[in-house]
């Protein structure tokens, strides 16, 4: 129930539309099949949304190097940082996924 409380508090804090969105997610405080389907759908889509945001981050922020996000003119003797940060981000993502897979496969009930 803690996760549901956190999600409800985060969504309800959105100005003007938070209460309406909260009522839509929880189905006016009644738990039925439609409410559970909405809840599980949102939780299924959230990792894909996060993956999309990571890809956008890698493409647009590191394209001009992270020390020059506006893409202004820089001298030609500087080392481009795009490959370094892109590989670093991909390596970090792979390490996180590997650790999560190890936890899930070795201790399947640890996170419950």
Q: Which residue has the tokens 């981000």?
A: 89
> What pLDDT was estimated at residue 92?
92
The structure's pTM equals 0.36
Separation between Cα atoms, residue 38 and residue 40, nearest integer Å: 6
Q: What is the mean pLDDT of each run of 10 residues along the chain (112 residues)?
A: 72 82 70 68 83 84 62 63 80 92 81 64
> What pLDDT was estimated at residue 98?
93
89, 58 Cβ separation under 8 angstroms: yes
């Amino acid at each position: 129930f803690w996760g549901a409380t956190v999600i409800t508090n985060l969504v309800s804090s959105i100005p003007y539309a938070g209460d309406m969105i909260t009522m839509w997610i929880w189905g006016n405080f009644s738990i039925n099949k439609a409410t559970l389907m909405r809840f599980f759908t949102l939780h299924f889509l959230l990792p894909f949304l996060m993956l999309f945001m990571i890809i956008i981050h890698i493409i647009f922020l590191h394209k001009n190097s992270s020390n020059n996000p506006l893409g202004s003119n820089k001298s030609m003797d500087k080392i481009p940082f795009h490959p370094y940060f892109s590989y670093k981000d991909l390596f970090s993502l792979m390490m996180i996924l590997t650790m999560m897979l190890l936890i899930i496969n070795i201790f399947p009930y640890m996170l419950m």
